[in-house]
Structure 1
């Protein structure tokens, strides 16, 4: 059973056992320890996982965090647990912040066994941030975060890679939160910026009050239009007779999704989310699409095989992946595990950038 399957099993367990877990100890035994085990650590080996880990600092000489995950004898992840359903509020964050300051661990997790809030020290060294860089819920999983969880797995932890990913996730999360707030109730400065681009007169309070509701409606309509455009493009690409170029002897898009022989595996899905996360900051993640076929699984930019980013040949061992370097040539590389894809990140990003450059060039013609 691979990592994503173990997490999926835990998700089922949360939904099944939820009502019976009323204490912190029960939550630890039923959910938190299995979560640590899913990351590949031996919860009964004190060289890997230490319960009641000592984190003394200042007057808190007896401070102990519920679990510490170790690598080479040093703590890399602290986990503070609460009973299932307990609000993970400021009080508990403050408690975890004390433990964090008393250790060398770069990652701290506050959890009730279902919700996992991940913290680091992105703002000030050795001082836990007040806001998590990532939140993950087992009862309502965001599969796009599975590759981020894998970075904490046994033998996979790389401090710099984790900190880089944490920074991107934190600010991506905050920007989306701010955008959602502005979409619902625009700040005056936000509204003033848009109105100033369209309205030639002086922007008085009356003008703001008049046009702010119009701005909100326009933003909603813009998002709806973008969604409808994507749906129309997808439908157009699936229509019979609208065939795209394909390599000789390989499955074309007309076979994808309609052939009973096509089975999208968990490993293919996980590889797709991994590639999607690697492209964060290079292209809009919404532009990265997966299209499965009989003999391989395509990862595409803008859901068109004219812009292949990566190809998965996972039907048999050894696994191979295809890189395109911005053209239609499938340069195949053998890999042993999904983590080997990480070493190919620069080539995948370069391919996406090349497609973007071609697109901008055409738009400028």
Structure 2
């Protein structure tokens, strides 16, 4: 199981068990320790993972952080834990900041087992920044951050690389936050810049009030257009190919001439496009192939029946879709419309990652 797959499994665990975790200790056992293990560290080796790690500073001689991860006997990561659902607020950041001062660790993490806030000392050496340089949420994963998480894994950690990446992530995060604020409610200077590019008269307060709502709508439409263009380009890279499946145990009941009765509907094609788009960033688009049959329509990885990603049962109402999870065979879910596929994205991606992990393990074992 590779790193991305381990994180995907943790995401499922948060969603499945989150409602039963009411204490900090339960959160540590069920979520935080598995997260540390997912990074490759042995949670039962006190030479690697130290619970209640001493971080004395000044008058706080007994200050202890929940976990410290060590490399060559020196702390590289500090982890302070709170019960699942606890607001990770200013008070808790101050507590972690105190521990940070008492050690030489370059990275500190504040977590409730689901949300992970990553801090460093980018503004002043050995003084933890007031704002995190990265936030990662297991139940709503930003998959673009998984490579950044991997940099903290055992055997991957490099102090200079991590500090450099933290610096880039910090400003990336702040720029996106500012852009989101401006798109929702543009600052006067921001609005004046755009209006001044198209309006050649004096920009009065009345002009600002008149054009600012138009600017907000235009920015929103621009973002939507960019998303739609990228999605169209990705989907046009490969048109769905309708292939009569080779005989298999699943298709045995069908007659020999069943291929002539296969009809690929527009809804099946749209569902295929949607699944393909959901897998962008997980697998290459050309690896996702549609194979239609009489009673259902398969969406496969690498065009092999041994790697089903999703199955469409659209011949009658209610519509059903089949999920596989890399193990479960055609776990069927009722849907009313194609948009109901969207909440299943994590399971589809996890299935694709599991197939690739299995294939990689076999290749390495040969």
Task: State TM-score, norm by structure 1.
Answer: 0.67
Which residue of the partner structure matches residue 187 of structure 1? 187
Q: C-alpha distance in 1, partners of 2:210/2:172?
A: 32
Which residue of the partner structure matches residue 281 of structure 2? none
Which residue of the partner structure matches residue 6 of structure 1? 6
Q: C-alpha distance in 2, partners of 1:193/1:161?
A: 37
Which of the pair has more CA radius of gyration?
2
Query: Could you tell me whether the CA contact under 8 Å between 1:54 and 1:63 is conserved in 2?
Result: yes
Q: Does 1:257 align with 2:320?
A: no
Query: Could you tell me whether the CA contact under 8 Å between 2:287 and 2:303 is conserved in 1?
Result: no
Which residue of the partner structure matches residue 119 of structure 1? 119
Bigger shift: 156-165 or 69-78? 156-165
Q: C-alpha distance in 1, partners of 2:145/2:81?
A: 21
Which residue of the partner structure matches residue 33 of structure 1? 33
Query: Could you tell me whether the CA contact under 8 Å between 1:240 and 1:254 is conserved in 2?
Result: no
Bigger shift: 12-21 or 125-134? 12-21
- 1:316-331 superposed matches below 5 A: 317=363
Q: C-alpha distance in 1, partners of 2:286/2:137?
A: 37
- Residue by residue, what CA displacement relative to the aligned partner does 1:131-159 show, whole Å, maximum 9, x if unpaired? 11111111122222111111111111101
Which residue of the partner structure matches residue 103 of structure 2? 103
Query: Could you tell me whether the CA contact under 8 Å between 2:289 and 2:301 is conserved in 1?
Result: no
Query: Could you tell me whether the CA contact under 8 Å between 2:288 and 2:303 is conserved in 1?
Result: no
Query: Could you tell me whether the CA contact under 8 Å between 1:51 and 1:65 is conserved in 2?
Result: yes
Bigger shift: 71-80 or 212-221? 212-221
Q: Does 1:148 align with 2:180?
A: no
Q: C-alpha distance in 2, partners of 1:64/1:255?
A: 49
Which residue of the partner structure matches residue 203 of structure 2? 203
> Where has structure 1 moved over 4 Å in runs of 4 or more?
252-256, 313-316
Q: C-alpha distance in 1, partners of 2:57/2:169?
A: 29
How far apart are residue 318 of structure 1 and its match?
6.2
| Structure 2: tracts of 5 or more residues without a match | 242-283, 292-299, 308-355
| RCO comparison, higher one (Cα < 8 Å, 6+) | 2
Bigger shift: 64-73 or 136-145? 136-145
Aligned CA RMSD, in angstroms, stands at 2.7
Bigger shift: 252-261 or 110-119? 252-261
Which residue of the partner structure matches residue 169 of structure 2? 169
Q: C-alpha distance in 2, partners of 1:261/1:87?
A: 40
Q: Aligned residue pairs: how many?
A: 264
Query: Could you tell me whether the CA contact under 8 Å between 1:36 and 1:43 is conserved in 2?
Result: yes
The SS at the match of 1:189 is helix
Q: C-alpha distance in 2, partners of 1:138/1:253?
A: 25
Bigger shift: 104-113 or 20-29? 20-29
Q: C-alpha distance in 1, partners of 2:101/2:114?
A: 25
| Structure 1: tracts of 5 or more residues without a match | 242-251, 266-296, 298-312, 320-365
Give the 3 Å change call, closer, same or farther, for CA 254–9 of structure 1 in structure 2. Answer: closer
- Residue by residue, what CA displacement relative to the aligned partner does 1:287-316 show, whole Å, maximum 9, x if unpaired? xxxxxxxxxx9xxxxxxxxxxxxxxx9697
Which residue of the partner structure matches residue 74 of structure 1? 74
Task: State TM-score, norm by structure 2.
Answer: 0.66
Which residue of the partner structure matches residue 276 of structure 1? none
Q: Does 1:61 align with 2:61?
A: yes
The SS at the match of 2:122 is coil
Q: C-alpha distance in 1, partners of 2:56/2:49?
A: 18
How far apart are residue 233 of structure 1 and its match?
3.0
